[in-house]
Structure 1
Amino acid sequence: MSFPLPPAARAVVLRTRRGDFAAVDTPVAPAVPHRGVALLLPGFTGSKEDFHFLQGPLARRGYRTIAVDGRGQYQSDGPEADESPYAQGELAKDVLALAESVGAPLHLLGHSMGGQVARAAVIVDRTPFRSLTLMSSGPAEISDSQKQRVRMLHEALAVMSMAEVWEVIVAMGPPEDVGGPAKGFGTPESMRDRWTGHKPAQLLATGRQLCGEPDRVAELADVALPFHVLSGSSDDTWPLPLLDEMAVRLSARRTVIEGADHSPNQDQPLPTAEALADFWDAQDAQDAQKDDRTSG
């Protein structure tokens, strides 16, 4: 059971020096000038499909987007039990390999946990990227209420299969990053297939990262990139004041999408896509000004 693709999108496999990664590649819409390429990283328990509603609107604004499953997420392979390949530093190397495979320069976007992986990647090497957008992704560890949910998941994975855990999730109501048919996204069968496609070791390792992530905003602020902090108008994973403060510390553009929670890409995809394209367009304008000054 698969998810419907955005218009003109292709399901592809990106072959990199770090292995193969499943992706959805959505080209620029016909007759629209090509303005850039963006690499989209999903969050904890998420996948490339989380960005389906964004990719069509962004294609109409001139942006090719490539949404990926990270190592051990849904259709990208990874070890079942060995957690070491899912250490944040390893996932950051995966992002740099993906950027190399796609071709630089790229706008980089990470949602939730994906934002912290994206942050780690640009701290290591910013050169493949034109900008970084942190979508509903905070400065350090997640809130206490979300830590409790992660602990419950880890306890369940210690004694249950992925399929059994899914049945419990459905009975309790899906966690923030799962999305689901209530948002017009996927069918119950495709959501179950996505969940069971995740590797338990990936969920265990990245869950621990979310619960213990240090504040690396000062490190990120030293990176010479334009930053964008985007979120919904409410967020229980990282409360808005934390995201507001992070944006100030990064001298970042700050966007709040009204009527959206932790997943503005699914809750309010059209205004979210417009905000992203506006930010990326602004980088084009600034780059053109720099070129004019250099040539002058």
Structure 2
Amino acid sequence: MTRIASQLDLGAARPLSIATADGPIAALHSGPPDGRPALLLPGYTGSKEDFGPIMDALAGAGLHAVAIDLPGQYESPGPTEVAGYTTGALGSRVREIAAQLGDGVHLVGHSFGGLVARAAVLAGADLFASLVLMDSGPAALSGSRAERIELMRPLLPELGVAGIYAASEALAASEPDHVPDPPELAAFMQRRFVAGSAAMLAGMGEAVTSEPDRVAELAAAGLPMLVMFGVRDDAWLPQLQREMALRLGARCVEIDGAAHSPAVENPEATATALIEFWRAQG
């Protein structure tokens, strides 16, 4: 049976601060410190907590799972300039973190985090044992999610981060199928959004809506790869991700009962797919 979790379900995961040249990175980690590292990158406006519901399962498989807030997100300070949030700049920080975790890091990028993970691999695949692209795509985000980013971007200087959150919530509430989060989760979602920097919100928004197609370059990197996504993903459409998997020569797994956040919407199936993929690498 599909189990719906939430970003509040962190299991035994513990906080961790990772030093980088540009400042500390906030993380959650679980599992044996000497286990094979799995580095998990969240999407735009996301955070490390988006992987909370799968951390115990990864730890139980003997992995050292490390989920981070990217620079500027939630509890990680970040650059004050928009230019610091390109996929290339963020990918450099990911490489710095991966180098500290040990040899053969399994890298997972969710949504915009997948574009960052790709940039990290394209800068040199030597640090990584595999790459998982979770609900991410071959190029820039399009459709209604991209339209919402473009709608909000010019309002950021006037409204600030808190105002953008309020406007986004009002827009979401006006949709006919909207289901509000429970109060405790809603409070967390607001807290993490407004904790993010304005430069991050603008910079990542620009990056996710302008990323070029780099699938051919990534295929040439030679890493084992997995493309996985919720069957109802409404960001990058499932067919687009299936086509990307074919172009990459990657395994493709569709997560039942999930849309754009399978680690929360179906954590058991998501963790199982990840563990099976990694075990197949030996």
TM-score (norm 2): 0.90
Give the aligned partner of residue 264 of structure 1.
262
Matched ranges for 1:280-291 at <5 A: 280-284=278-282
Cα separation, 1, equivalents of 2:30 and 2:119: 25
Determine whether 1:201 maps to 2:193.
no
Give the aligned partner of residue 292 of structure 1.
none
Q: 1:213 to 1:69 in 2, by over 3 A?
A: same
Q: Is the 8 A contact 2:22 2:78 kept in 1?
A: no
CA deviations over 1:47-84 (Å, ceiling 9, x no partner)? 0010000101111222221000111011110234x112
Q: Is the 8 A contact 1:181 1:187 kept in 2?
A: no
Give the aligned partner of residue 113 of structure 1.
112
Q: 1:185 to 1:97 in 2, by over 3 A?
A: farther
Give the aligned partner of residue 37 of structure 2.
37
Stretch deviating more after TM superposition (216-225 or 136-145): 136-145
Q: 1:239 to 1:137 in 2, by over 3 A?
A: same
Stretch deviating more after TM superposition (202-211 or 64-73): 202-211
Q: Is the 8 A contact 2:72 2:197 kept in 1?
A: yes
- Matched length: 271
Q: 1:185 to 1:74 in 2, by over 3 A?
A: farther
- Bigger Cα Rg: 1
Determine whether 1:101 maps to 2:100.
yes
Q: 1:170 to 1:267 in 2, by over 3 A?
A: same
Residue aligned with 1:165, SS: helix
1:234 Cα offset (Å): 1.8
CA deviations over 1:60-113 (Å, ceiling 9, x no partner)? 222221000111011110234x11211221111001001112222210000000
For 2:246, give the aligned amino acid.
V
Aligned identity (percent) is 41
Cα separation, 2, equivalents of 1:122 and 1:115: 10
TM-score (norm 1): 0.86
Give the aligned partner of residue 250 of structure 1.
248
Give the aligned partner of residue 274 of structure 1.
272
Query: Which 4+ residue blocks in structure 1 deviate beyond 6 angstroms?
Result: none
1:4 Cα offset (Å): 4.8
Residue aligned with 1:98, SS: helix
For 1:100, give the aligned amino acid.
A
Q: 1:103 to 1:17 in 2, by over 3 A?
A: farther
Stretch deviating more after TM superposition (137-146 or 250-259): 137-146
Give the aligned partner of residue 234 of structure 2.
236
Give the aligned partner of residue 134 of structure 1.
133
Give the aligned partner of residue 176 of structure 2.
none
1:165 Cα offset (Å): 2.0
Q: Which runs of 5+ in 2 are unaligned?
A: 1-6, 174-178
For 1:36, give the aligned amino acid.
R
Stretch deviating more after TM superposition (96-105 or 64-73): 96-105
1:223 Cα offset (Å): 0.3
Give the aligned partner of residue 77 of structure 1.
77
1:35 Cα offset (Å): 5.6
CA deviations over 1:266-285 (Å, ceiling 9, x no partner)? 1111100000000001011x
Cα separation, 2, equivalents of 1:185 and 1:219: 44
1:228 Cα offset (Å): 0.2
CA deviations over 1:126-145 (Å, ceiling 9, x no partner)? 11110000000000111222
Cα separation, 1, equivalents of 2:30 and 2:16: 10
For 1:59, give the aligned amino acid.
A
Q: Is the 8 A contact 1:58 1:277 kept in 2?
A: yes
Give the aligned partner of residue 54 of structure 1.
54
For 1:19, give the aligned amino acid.
G
CA RMSD of aligned residues (A): 2.0
1:226 Cα offset (Å): 0.1
Give the aligned partner of residue 288 of structure 1.
none
Residue aligned with 1:262, SS: coil
Cα separation, 1, equivalents of 2:160 and 2:20: 30
Q: 1:268 to 1:185 in 2, by over 3 A?
A: farther
Q: Which runs of 5+ in 1 are unaligned?
A: 175-179, 285-296
Residue aligned with 2:133, SS: strand
Cα separation, 1, equivalents of 2:163 and 2:203: 20
Q: Is the 8 A contact 2:11 2:52 kept in 1?
A: no
